[in-house]
Structure 1
Amino acid sequence: MNERPITDWLPLTMKEVEKRGWDSVDVVIVSGDAYVDHPAFGTAVIGRIIESEGFRVAVVAQPNWKDDLRDFKKFGKPNYFFGVTAGCMDSMVNHYTANRRLRSTDAYTPGGQSGFRPDYATITYTKILKELYPDVPVLIGGIEASLRRVTHYDYWKDKLMPGILKDSGADILVYGMGEQPLRDMLKLVRKGVPFSSLKTIPQTAFLQSVEEELPKNKNWDTIALASHEECLADKLKYAANFKIVEVESNKLNARRITQDIGNERLVINPPYKTMTEKEMDQSFDLPYTRFPHPKYKKRGAIPAYEMIKFSINMHRGCFGGCSFCTISAHQGKFISSRSQKSILKEVEQVVNDPTFKGYISDLGGPSANMYGMKGKDESICERCSSPSCIHPVICNNLDTSHSSMTELYRKVDAHPKVKKAFIGSGIRYDLLVDDFNKNNEDGNHDEYIEQVVTRHVSGRLKVAPEHTSDATLRVMRKPSFRYFHKFKEKYDEISAKNGLSQQLIPYFISSHPGCEEQDMANLAAETKDMGFRLEQVQDFTPTPMTVATVIYYSGVHPYTLKPVFTPKTKEEKQNQHRFFFWYKKENHGWIRNRLTQAKRPELLDKLLGSESNPDTTVARSKPKWLEERRKNERSKKRKR
C-alpha cells in the first residue's frame, strides 16, 4: 500500500476527525463491511458523494453490536443524519449457504473472518442508533434495504416479512443505486429542509399514517399493493404484488407504489431516470484512494478487495431480467455506462499502483458485454413494461453493437504497462449468437468474440447457460440451450484458428423453480455428451425481490398465477445435485436405481453405460480440433 496521509481516507476514528480540524461530523455512515475506499464498495461511493457535496462525513465500519455500543457513539451526534447499510451483500446471503448453514468466512472482512456483522444488519444497526439518538434521522440503503423494501419472503426465517422500514424504524429508505436521490437530499437538508419533508424525492420510500394524505406530485400516478396482512393470508396476493413492483421498478415512467402495513402506509416513490454518462463519470471519478483503510493492515487482506483490486467496472444495470438474479432489481434493467475517458483514467490509476504486475483482472460489469447498449428510440423504452429486453426474444429496439467494447478493449491493450486485461465478468453469450440476436447490424459480434478469445481469457471463459431444459430456462428467463451449442461451436472455431487451448466453463443452477429431477438428469447427460465434467453447481437460494423466490414461496408464477413445481425438501435438492455429479462413483448405484424406476434407459446409458468408472470420462471440455492436434503430435513423436 502507498504510504499516504491518513486524511486521504474518510475518518474511522475521532483522532482522524481531529486531524482534519473538525469539531463535529455532519453525517455518520454505519456499514456491515470493512471500509475499502474503492468505487466497487458502496460505503466508499456514498461517503465520497456526501463529501463532494461539502459535508463532513465519517464511517463506522463493522461496529460491535453485541455487548459494547461505543462504536456507535464514538463520533457523537451527527449534525444531519446517520446512513446505514448492511454492506455490499444482504447480510443473510453473506452469512448462510443455500442449505442455511453458517458460512465460516466473510469476504468483506479483514482476514476473511466471519462474525463481524449481525444477521439482518440494517435492522440491528438502525434500532441501536434509534435507541441512542432517537431525535437523529436514519437513512437506510444498500442492497439489503433496497430488496427488502416491500413485503418479502425471507428464506432464513421461512416467512413473509414486512418492508424493512417497519422492522428497522428508519426514517427514509433509498433503493437502488443511491447517487441521484442522495445528492438531491443533501442539497435540501443543507438548506434546512427537515427529513420529514423529503417525501417527494424519487427512488425513496417512507412510512406514514394510513389517514395521512400522500405528498402531492402532479407527475406521479399511484398504484396500491395488497396490504402486508392480505399477503400473510393469501400467497396469491403476495405473488401478484411482485409483478407490480418489478414492472414499476423497471419503467422509465413508473408509478408511485403504496402498501398498508397495519395502521401505517408504506410509500415508494418511482425511480430516477437512468444515470447519464456524465453522472456515472462523476461517481467513479471521485478521489478514492483505492485501498482499504490502513487500520486493517495487521488484520490481513480483505478477500473481496483482493479480487477486484485491479478490476474496472465499465457500466451498471442488466437488461437480462433473469428470474433468480437481483441485479436488475437493484441496479435497474437500463444500462448506465461510463465514458471511455473515465474508464481509461481509471486504467491509468490501476497501472500506477506499485503492486500492479501488468494484469487487469476484469474489464466488465454485471454482464461483461452490455457496455454502451441502450434503446435506439427512447420513446419506445418509455412505453415498455417488460422486465427483460432479451427474453423471450431480443427487442428490435435494443442496440446490441459490441463495437464500442471492442474499441475500448484495444485501447486498454495498447497501454504499455498492461500485459493483459482479462474479462472476468460473465459474458452473455446469447448476445453473440446470430440465430438469437438478429440486431447485429454492424456485424461485429464475431470481431468481439475473437478479440475476447485471443486477448482477454485467463485460461477460462465463464458463461452461464444455467440449464439445458427449455421449460426450466423459460422460468429462468434464459434462452434455449441450443444457443450455447452454437456459441461453443464459434468459440472452438476461433480457438482452433488461433491455436489456443482455453476452457469454456459453463455455470448451472440446480433446484430452481420449474426444474424437475429428470431435467437435471438430462442436463447431466447433455453436458457429458458435449465433453464436460462439471465442477460447480449453484443450488438455488431464494433471495428477496426475485421472480424465482416468489415462485418458491407461493408456488405460482407471479405473472400468470399458475402453479410451478419447485424442489424444496432436502431430499429433492440432494437428488438433483447427485445427477450433476454423475461421474462420482458413490452416485452410480443411486442413479441406476432412479433412472430405472423412471423408465429412462436412454439416460442411464448416456450417463453411465460402460463408462461407470469416472477415470475414463473427459474431465473438461476438449474440442475435437484440440484432440486431433494432440493425436497428430503424439504420432509425430512416435515416428521420430
Structure 2
Amino acid sequence: MFIPTTKKECEKLGWKQLDIILVTGDCYIDSPLVGVSVIGHCLINAGFRVGIIGQPSLDSADDITRLGEPTLFWGVTGGCIDSMVANRTASGKPRRTDDYTPGGVNNKRPDRAVIAYSNLIRTHFKNCAPIVLGGLEASLRRIAHYDYTSNKIRKSILLDSKADYLLYSMADKSVVELARHLKDGLACNTIRGLCYVSKTAPADGIALPDFDTVQSDNTAFSSMFATFYHNNDPITAKVIYQKQDTRFLVQNPPPLTFTQRELDEVHGFEYMRDAHPYYLQNGSVKALDTIRFSILTHRGCYGECSFCSIAVHQGRTVRSRSKHSILQEVKEITKHPLFRGNIMDVGGPTANMYGFECVKKLTKGACENKSCLFPEVCPTMEIDHAKQIDLLNDIKRVPGVKRVFVTSGIRYDMILADQKNGIRYLQTLIRNHISGQLKIAPEHSSPLVLDKMGKPGIGTLYKFRELFNKFTEKDGKKQFLSYYFIAAHPGCRLEDMKQLKSVCTKELKYTPEQVQLFTPTPSTRSTMMYCTNTDPFTGNNVFVEKSSVGRQRQMEHLLHVPGFLTDENNFGKHHDAKRSDAKRSDAKRGDTKRGDTKRGDTKRGDTKHRDTKREFNTRPSSRKQGRRGKING
C-alpha cells in the first residue's frame, strides 16, 4: 500500500495522529529503491503510524501542516540525491530538470533541503517533536566537510539545521530502534548509526581536530578525514567526536551490516512501484522509467573509488539477498499492470559484486590500509560470478519475463580476475543482458590520475575490450562498449586529457560525446584532494585544476572531434564508435544524470553509477552518490 500523504488516507486507516512524519526533497515514490519509502515501510512493519510529505512548499503552511504533528519525531531527508548536486551542475549552473519531481521541472527541491525543511517545521510547529535527519545529504555532511558550492568548510549539517539527531548509513534498523527508544522515553545516545550533539565530550572515543582548527589548517583537515573514513566499518569503528563551537558532534559506530534474512525482509514489503497519485496529478516522474522494474540484489561496494561516497554511506561490505527473495520480487513485478516483460536492471552499486564477499572482512572488518580491488584484486577476495549467472538465468525463466538487463555499472577488472566464471559471466551478459551497448567506467588513461581515482590501469581495459569484441563478434551481435570519463579530477592536467584523447581515438576508436566534469561532493577522498591539494591518506601534494576555464578546457579537449572521425564513411568503420553513449534514449537531453557534459547537465557527480536506489538509507547517484537514495542511508 501507499504510505499516507494526506489526512484523508490517515482517517481511512483510523489513525488520528501519526507517530512519525517523513519529509523528503523528492516526490513520494513507493519503491524498494527509494530510501524514504523503505524507511516508512520498516517503521510501519514495526507497528508505528507513518506519513510522508514530499517536496513541501516553503512559501506556505499548507503542505507541511497537512498531516498534523507527529507524536515521536519528524524524519527529514533531502531525497535520493544531495540537494546541492540535484540543483547545480559541476560548473555551478542551475539544473533545469529533476527526475524526482512530477513534470520534470527542477522547481520543487530547495538548496540545502535538509536545513530548509528543518527550519520549515520549526516555523509552523513551536516546541515541535524531535527532528531526525537522514538520507544521503545528511549522511555525507554529518561531520565537518568541504562544501563546493560555497567553497568553504562547513560544520556538521546536524548543527547547521539545529535538528536533534542524525541517522547515517543504511538506517533501516537504527530508525526503528530510535523510534522505540523515543516511545519508551529511553536515552538514544547509544544507538548505532546515530550522530548527536553533546555539551561534553564522550568518556570513550576518538577526538578529531576541532572545527576551528580544520577550517584553517589543511593538514588537520586531512587528518580528520582519514580518521573519519577509517571509522566506518561496523566491526572496527569507534565512537568519534569533534568540537564544533562550544559543543561536541558525536558519531556512534555505524549500524551492523544486514544479514541476508534482514535484507530479504526489507524487500519483501508491499511496494506500489509508482509515485503516489497525490503527486502524479502534477505530471509524470521520470525516475520511474528507470527504477519501477529494477531489482536491487545487494548493498555495499568494496570498489572504493576515490570520488565515490558509497564507502562512507553504504559501507565497504557487500551483503546479498537470497535468490528466493529476488525471484519472489520478480514474480510480484510481473503482476504489475504496467509491466511489459522487461526487467530494466538487476544489480546494485556495482552489478557484479553479488553473491560473494571476503570471509576475513565479514569477521574482522575491512582492512584499514588495503583496498579490496586497488591497485589489484586482493587474493583473499575470491571473486566468483557463478551465483549471479545462475540468478540471471532463473529470472529469465519466470513466466511473464521477456528480457532481463544489467544496466548497473560492472567492474571489468573483477571479470578478468575471476578465473572460474569471469568469461562465462561476460558471455552471458553479451548474449542476453545488454541492449546494444555495455557502459563501463575506465574514467581515465593516465596512470597518475587513475592512481588518485583508485581505478585499475588502462591495460586492464584493453584486455577486457579485446574479450568483449571477441565474444560479441563470435555471437554475431552488433553491440559495443561505451565509456565514462572524468575531466579535471585531482591530479589531472590538460596534458593528461590530451593523452586520454589519443587513447580514445587511436586505441579505442571511440568518440566521447559525454564527459563528466569532476564535482567535489562531501566526504570523499577526491573532494579532500580538491580542497587541500593533498592526498589525505598519503600526505602527498596533488595538482588540482580549480579555475573554471581550466576545468572546462579539460572537458572540451576530450570532446573535440578529430577531422578523420568526422567523415561519415570513416566514422562507421571504427569498432567502438558506431554508436556512443549520447546516441541512445535520453542521452541527448539537455539534463542527464551524469555530471557536466558537452551534452548538458548530468548528475553523475562523485558517485558511482546512479545512487537513485537509496536515500534515509541511501545508496550512492553524483555518480556514486546516489545510485539509490534513502533515509536509511
- TM normalised by structure 2 equals 0.88
Verify the 8 A CA contact 1:28 1:81 in the aligned structure 2: yes
Other structure's SS at 1:249 match: coil
Correspondence 1:345-356 to 2 at 5 A:
345-356=328-339
Give the Å deviation of 1:617: 4.7
Other structure's SS at 1:504 match: strand
Paired residue for 1:543, among 507, 521, 525?
A: 521
Paired residue for 1:159, among 152, 169, 172?
A: 152
Deviates more, 1:386-395 or 1:497-506: 386-395
Verify the 8 A CA contact 2:511 2:577 in the aligned structure 1: no
- Determine whether 1:618 maps to 2:611: no
Alignment correspondent of 1:43: 36
- Tell me, in whole angstroms, the C-alpha distance in 2 between the residues paired with 1:138 and 1:578: 45
Paired residue for 1:62, among 41, 51, 55?
A: 55
Give the Å deviation of 1:261: 0.4
Correspondence 1:66-145 to 2 at 5 A:
67-131=59-123, 132-145=125-138
Paired residue for 1:260, among 203, 224, 243?
A: 243
- Determine whether 1:319 maps to 2:297: no
- Determine whether 1:569 maps to 2:538: no
Give the Å deviation of 1:390: 0.7
- Tell me, in whole angstroms, the C-alpha distance in 1 between the residues paired with 2:414 and 2:573: 24
C-alpha distance 274-575 of structure 1, shift in aligned 2 (>3 A): same
- Tell me, in whole angstroms, the C-alpha distance in 2 between the residues paired with 1:70 and 1:333: 42
Alignment correspondent of 1:374: 357
Alignment correspondent of 2:484: 507
- Determine whether 1:496 maps to 2:473: yes
Verify the 8 A CA contact 1:461 1:503 in the aligned structure 2: yes
Correspondence 1:268-347 to 2 at 5 A:
268-347=251-330
Identical aligned residues as a percent = 37
Give the Å deviation of 1:380: 6.5
Alignment correspondent of 1:33: 26
Verify the 8 A CA contact 1:130 1:136 in the aligned structure 2: no
Alignment correspondent of 2:622: none
Give the Å deviation of 1:613: 4.9
Verify the 8 A CA contact 1:77 1:133 in the aligned structure 2: no
C-alpha distance 202-620 of structure 1, shift in aligned 2 (>3 A): farther
Correspondence 1:436-515 to 2 at 5 A:
437=417, 440=418, 443-515=420-492
Give the Å deviation of 1:70: 2.7
- Tell me, in whole angstroms, the C-alpha distance in 2 between the residues paired with 1:324 and 1:213: 32
Q: Give deviations 1:80-115, integer Å, cap 9, x for gaps.
A: 111111100000000000010000111111111211
- Tell me, in whole angstroms, the C-alpha distance in 1 between the residues paired with 2:108 and 2:573: 38
Paired residue for 1:207, among 197, 203, 209?
A: 197
Q: Which amino acid aligns with 2:189?
A: K
Give the Å deviation of 1:129: 1.8
Give the Å deviation of 1:561: 2.0
Verify the 8 A CA contact 1:130 1:169 in the aligned structure 2: no
Paired residue for 1:404, among 381, 387, 390?
A: 387
Alignment correspondent of 2:400: 417
- Tell me, in whole angstroms, the C-alpha distance in 2 between the residues paired with 1:204 and 1:544: 18
Give 5+ residue unaligned stretches, structure 1: 1-7, 584-606, 627-640
- TM normalised by structure 1 equals 0.87
Give the Å deviation of 1:359: 1.0
Alignment correspondent of 2:598: none
Larger Rg: 1
Give the Å deviation of 1:379: 6.6
Verify the 8 A CA contact 2:510 2:577 in the aligned structure 1: no
Paired residue for 2:343, among 344, 350, 360?
A: 360
- Tell me, in whole angstroms, the C-alpha distance in 2 between the residues paired with 1:90 and 1:504: 30
Q: Give deviations 1:385-438, integer Å, cap 9, x for gaps.
A: 1473111222222121100000000001122311110101111111011xxx2x
Q: Which amino acid aligns with 1:200?
A: T
C-alpha distance 566-171 of structure 1, shift in aligned 2 (>3 A): same
- Tell me, in whole angstroms, the C-alpha distance in 2 between the residues paired with 1:133 and 1:388: 48
Give the Å deviation of 1:505: 0.8
- Tell me, in whole angstroms, the C-alpha distance in 2 between the residues paired with 1:471 and 1:141: 36
Alignment correspondent of 1:519: 496
Alignment correspondent of 2:557: 579
Verify the 8 A CA contact 1:467 1:508 in the aligned structure 2: yes
Aligned length: 577
Other structure's SS at 1:112 match: coil
Give the Å deviation of 1:135: 4.1
Deviates more, 1:8-17 or 1:31-40: 8-17
- Tell me, in whole angstroms, the C-alpha distance in 1 between the residues paired with 2:309 and 2:577: 38
Paired residue for 2:162, among 162, 166, 169?
A: 169
Q: Which amino acid aligns with 1:568?
A: K
Q: Which amino acid aligns with 2:176?
A: R
Give the Å deviation of 1:198: 0.2
C-alpha distance 379-415 of structure 1, shift in aligned 2 (>3 A): closer
- Tell me, in whole angstroms, the C-alpha distance in 2 between the residues paired with 1:468 and 1:134: 56
Verify the 8 A CA contact 2:169 2:255 in the aligned structure 1: no
Give the Å deviation of 1:252: 2.3
Q: Give deviations 1:256-309, integer Å, cap 9, x for gaps.
A: 110000110000001122211111111111121222111233322111122111
Q: Which amino acid aligns with 1:281?
A: D
Verify the 8 A CA contact 1:316 1:335 in the aligned structure 2: yes
Verify the 8 A CA contact 1:333 1:388 in the aligned structure 2: no
Give 5+ residue unaligned stretches, structure 2: 580-633
Q: Give deviations 1:568-607, integer Å, cap 9, x for gaps.
A: 1122112212221231xxxxxxxxxxxxxxxxxxxxxxx6
- Tell me, in whole angstroms, the C-alpha distance in 2 between the residues paired with 1:624 and 1:136: 57
- Tell me, in whole angstroms, the C-alpha distance in 2 between the residues paired with 1:391 and 1:471: 14
C-alpha distance 351-23 of structure 1, shift in aligned 2 (>3 A): same
- Tell me, in whole angstroms, the C-alpha distance in 2 between the residues paired with 1:461 and 1:84: 37
Q: Give deviations 1:327-381, integer Å, cap 9, x for gaps.
A: 2221111112111111101101111212211111101111110012211334774
C-alpha distance 528-521 of structure 1, shift in aligned 2 (>3 A): same
Other structure's SS at 2:313 match: helix
Verify the 8 A CA contact 1:375 1:381 in the aligned structure 2: no
